[in-house]
Chains A and B, each alone.
Chain A
Amino acid sequence: MKKVAWLAAAVLMMVSAGAMAGEPVVFEDPTGDDVGPGGYKYPTAAEYKAGSFDMTKVEISDKGDKVEISVTMKVRIEDPWDSKKWSPPGQGFSLQFIQVYVDKDHKAGSGHKDGLPGLNIRFAEDGRWEKAVLISPQPVSRAKMEVKMKAKDLAGDVIVPKAVSVKGKTLTVVVPKDELGGFDRAWGWQVVVQSNEGYPDGNDVLTRDVNEIEGDHRFGGGSDWDCDPQVLDILAGAGKGKDDEKKAQFEALKYTCAGSDMSKAKLAELPMLYVK
């Protein structure tokens, strides 16, 4: 009888362990926080529909030798600029551009501190990133080339998945584990929502500017200097979708400008979120 009990316990432990290994990492994000540090406004052109940059959920799943990352927005993902007719064809959506940052070791000083050019963000000292996954509507070749040209030092750690799946409100990419360097639920994650810009400014990697005043195709509510986080929505707080996480986001995205003297500007410092 004892043997049966031990066997049952062992099976139960194995099943539990399996379930834990297969359980996705899920973060929720509150709605209505697609305003960056608190006051950002959408561009005025009709394509930028309310809620288009409002992230509500992130799910990261272990799929054997691959990792699947899904990011859900508040509203249905549309393709107002007909990306399938670009040359080469895009991915079936046009507006959003999402960057997923991964902290694999949670060690202070390890990894990259700065986000990709065009975001004006940094990461906390103990939450620097080792890998970044780009969910871009651009053809893979264009996205890779932009990174290679404008972020050469980081390019080795930036992954552009082969394809993006668009389903309703959700964008999904699949990343081979050998590119990501495995998968561990203990890793830290940050997901940054921006807008795809086919004609980016200077050294920006396909990101749309946030200016002081919104324009047809420019976000507003930021600064005309290059010191504001050019980011609409991020994960913040506990990542449970609670309303107080908005405040955590606004805190995380606080920044200080110092006119043209970028050495005195204080860029926003983003946290990584870890599954407890």
Chain B
Amino acid sequence: MKRSGAVVWQLAGTLLAAAILLAGFPARADKKNFDMSAKLYTKWLYKNDDSQGVLWLGNPFWPDDIAGNNGVASEFELAFTGSVSRYVNAGAKIQSRFGGVWQDWWESGERKWEYEGEHNTSGDSLGINRAMYVKFRGFYVNLNPDVPVVDWFRVGSSDLAMFNAWTIGKVRYIDRDNARGVFAQADFADGLFGYHAGIIALPKLWVGPGWSTGIGDDKLEYPFFTQDWAYAARLDSMPIDWLKVSVVGSYTRDVEFDRWDPDAKGSLTSGCVDSMGDAIPGCTIDHAVSTYPRYENAVVTGEIEAQPGDIFYGHLLVGYSYSRLGEKFAENGVESNEGMFPVVYGDVGDLAARARAFAVDPFEIGLSLKLEGFYIGQDWTSIFGARREDDVLLTDGLIEGGQLPTLNLANEFVDFDEPWFESCVGWMGGTAILGYQWENLDIGVEGTYLTYATNGQGRDIDKKYPTFLYSEGYTDTDLYDYANVGDRGRDPRSVYKRDQDRQTLLGVLTGRYTFDFGLSVEAKAKYVRDDDWRKLHLDGSSKFYTDDDYLGDIVTGRLKVSMPVFSSLTVGIGGQIDRWDERNRSGDLSGGYGDYLTSKQKGFGVLTYRWGGASLNYYLEYVHKNQERPDELNLADQEWKVWRSKASFEVAW
């Protein structure tokens, strides 16, 4: 009976609780003062090689245990947002670490290939990255204060999209929750004037000399990164409806403490006595530690954007950057790291300018024209500028993803189907794009002339200008490898060479037609003529030296056909051919240069299925590449036969 009584009481309690919930707390829809959303993402990546992991290109310089071409992994994200009051709202996310493959049943974070000399059969082996741990990310509090000059304060995460690619760029998608700072913004008089301002914590990895703010730098025994900040502001004004003026400025500062200060950790003058125990003249202990900049980068841009009427659009951007490097605190990676270094080693400043003029269908026959002229100085430096997923020039460029004015690009942590980005530091020239758009037809023709502010003879690439080791040859982004074991061509960041006299011509034709029954045909043809006369004169000679002249004739053609089979399913197939005829692609003055002929054929199929809030994407491709290399340089020809695929399945609710 007792037991029955307990059950009755439990039941009554449950009913009472339910009644209270139903009566006392009215149900509130999700968009109210508390909102919760979730996302579950799964990726399959497969290739006909023996690597294991779920990321094509991972971290190039660190023990990396998620990169590999064969695996399937999932990621979960839970986001909370809520309104504290009319004036305060907040949000935060928790997200699992991506990288643990489905076969990792028991990974709990320990790294042990072997255990006390025995074979490890515990299931733990690959470390925390494979344990799919949940991490606190993307948190913020927004405050609408009762002061007239600020609409919103934000404390916490931001994707930094409010500035621009030249100063502090929108962070790449995978970093969207990682940048943290304090931000303010306001708009006055219906857009007449507005501003954004922010103080942002520098990531201890990537923003700084040697891609760090001190960690890993041989010159620093005790890297100090918790006082490293970037400061940025953007001012916008629309004095009239069709005119916008903007100024964006950023100042990035990485500081270290002075080890000659007797109060500093590991001080070289500890106790104000020297190694002999004698007092150091002028040395005083004041219980305060001085800091000095390891690296500073100031960038300012001014923009005028005019769009009078429906036809004409103009945009002018001018900018200046200054980069200052504290040699006392920063190791010279140009010298010691084979030219792998994201800034010029030294103090440099330079200008950039870009002007655009568009005429949008002026004759009302579907024909539009875009013109752009640009100059980006050879010493332009944006250490915190956009690293990828942005584009500052109209041209298709040498590689088609986008051009960004920084050496600090991010072409790592990507899969083979993602776009590539190249540095346009030192680029100057012009682009014209003629577009024709009529009903279902869209055609574009691009012509670009490029020359380079980095042209010059005898540049110091030993101690000052980074080359990223590989500066020659057309870049193969399909079959890229960090160590360049496959002769993949120029690093997209490599804009400096010892001897360069280069100009480039680009022609691009694109077309897309969608038939009324849904079939879409896309075509692209591209031609690049890339001349680099390299060394102009041998030492002491007035005669032009031509034996090292590079000429790249690059031709690419692509065709894709896609068709919605029904509203939830779209399928497509396509192919691409490349022919790169490169004279004197590689070699050196002493050993001579050699010609390359590269041919590539690629076939691919795509499938997209979206139904009921779930989306599935599948991409399969086969790449065949043949690279004929010069016998005189003792280089054998190479061939690739690569099958690879990627699928993703995502739901958000």
Residues of A within 8 A of B (CB): 31-32, 44-47, 50-51, 72, 74-76, 82, 85, 87-88, 139-142, 144-145, 148-149, 162-163, 165, 167-170, 174, 176, 199, 201-202, 209, 211-213, 215, 224-226, 259-260
Contact = CB atoms under 8 A, between A and B. Distances in A.
Contacts of B419: 85
B564 A140 contact: yes
Interface string B582-621: 0000000000000000000000001010111000010000
A213 B83 contact: yes
18 contacts: A44-B142, A45-B162, A46-B161, A46-B196, A50-B191, A76-B307, A85-B419, A139-B570, A140-B564, A168-B307, A168-B311, A168-B358, A202-B30, A213-B86, A213-B142, A215-B81, A224-B83, A225-B31
Nearest to B87: A213
A213 B144 contact: yes
Interface in B610-653: 610-612, 617, 652
B331 to A, nearest CB: 36
Contacts of B27: 260
Contact of A167 (B91, B238, B360): B360
B86 A88 contact: no
Contacts of A82: 389
A187 B412 CA distance: 56
B83 A141 contact: no
B612 A149 contact: yes
Contact of A162 (B83, B368, B516): B516
A139 to B, nearest CB: 7
B83 A212 contact: yes
A145 B611 CA distance: 7
A211 B196 contact: no
B218 to A, nearest CB: 39
Interface in B388-434: 389, 419
Contact of B437 (A75, A165, A260): A165
Nearest to B613: A149
Interface in B283-324: 307, 310-311, 313
A87 B648 CA distance: 11
B611 A44 contact: no
Given A46-B161, A50-B191, A201-B31, A259 B568 contact: no
Given A87-B606, A163-B440, A226 B562 contact: no
B518 A162 contact: yes
Interface residues of B, number: 60
Main secondary structure of the interface of A (DSSP, over half): loop
A265 to B, nearest CB: 12
A169 B242 CA distance: 11
A139 B571 CA distance: 13
B610 A145 contact: yes
A169 B307 contact: yes
Contacts of B152: 44
A76 B611 CA distance: 33
A144 B564 CA distance: 11
B45 to A, nearest CB: 16
A53 to B, nearest CB: 13
Contacts of B358: 168
A88 B81 contact: no
B156 to A, nearest CB: 11
Contacts of A74: 241
Contacts of B389: 82
B282 interface: no
B440 A213 contact: no
Given A167-B368, A168-B310, A168-B313, A140 B31 contact: no
B185 interface: yes
A260 B28 contact: yes
Interface in B6-33: 26-33
B393 to A, nearest CB: 15
Given A141-B570, A260-B26, A260-B28, 16 more contacts: A44-B185, A50-B187, A51-B191, A87-B608, A141-B568, A145-B568, A162-B440, A162-B514, A168-B313, A168-B360, A170-B310, A199-B37, A209-B31, A215-B89, A224-B32, A226-B29
B361 interface: yes
B116 interface: no
Interface in B80-96: 81, 83, 86, 89, 91
B652 to A, nearest CB: 5
Interface string B103-139: 0000000000000000000000000000000000000
B405 to A, nearest CB: 19
Nearest to B144: A213
A142 to B, nearest CB: 6
A84 B27 CA distance: 40
A226 B31 CA distance: 8
B4 interface: no
B146 interface: no
B50 interface: no
Please indicate which of the listed interface residues B144, B389, B516, B610 has the most CB atoms of chain A within 10 Å of its own CB.
B610
B278 interface: no
Contacts of A76: 307, 313
Nearest to A143: B567
Contacts of B606: 87
